[in-house]
Amino acid sequence: MSNTTWIVGINPVDGALGHDAERVREVRVERGARNPRVAELAARARKQGIAVTEVARDQLERVAGGARHQGIVASYAAPEALSENDLERLAEEAGSEALFLVLDGVTDPHNLGACLRSAAAASATAVIVPKDRAVGMTPVVRRASAGGADRVPLVAATNLARALRVLKDAGVWLTGFAGEAETELYDIDLKGPCALVLGSEGEGMRRLTRETCDFLARIPMPGEMESLNVSVSAGVALFEALRQRRA
């Protein structure tokens, strides 16, 4: 099953044509646009047998939903989001290399997009978010991910605590991040199958999420700041895990 959505902007459309072209149903470009990259993408889509339509700018703005379209959008038959029922399989397939990023209640689409980008860059197994009370896959998220949304699975969990228990039962160790934690990130062993759990932009992890984690860690900040943006924290944690695994 799938649901049709709009991919908005040059890089997201480029990513869809390059990695998932069979799901692209139509490309629309701004009539009279002179951007050479838009023209190149339109030509690529035609070569792949995808319909390309020139439309007025206001039509692109309507389907873009507030996202910056840069003169191009694509109709995309998105696959159904994965659920917690897929987590055991994902963990087993990844084995000792399993690396999950869990975001407990991130609501800013730019933050989720940036997290997906970092997760894809770190070759994470999947990004897990709650199905409710958090942002899902939107045109803004896809654009902010700079193609990451097409490269890393997104799991929408109906019950996040239950999803975390599924991971634990599959042998994945859970490290939650909290500013008041005594242990620093760099003292946590992230070389085996693990999940990095971060909370929402304002409130952090919910109580049940925190209690389900095996370890709590903090990112040391010697400067005069109390916290980092969640997407920055995710990048720091993911690439520390990557560094340990390559050491």
What is the total residue count of the chain?
A: 247
Query: Does 228 count as an annotated binding residue?
Result: yes
**CB-based burial of residue 36 (10 Å sphere; 0-12 exposed, 13-18 middle, 19+ buried)?**
exposed
The Cα–Cα gap between 87 and 120 comes to: 17
Query: Does 60 count as an annotated binding residue?
Result: no
Query: Does 66 count as an annotated binding residue?
Result: no
The Cα–Cα gap between 138 and 161 comes to: 24
Nearest to 145 by CA among 196, 176, 103: 103
Nearest to 154 by CA among 83, 224, 218, 225: 83
Pairing status of strand 126-130 against strand 99-104 = parallel
The Cα–Cα gap between 154 and 3 comes to: 15
Binding residues for S-adenosyl-L-methionine: 199, 219, 228
Q: Binding site residues, as ranges? A: 199, 219, 228
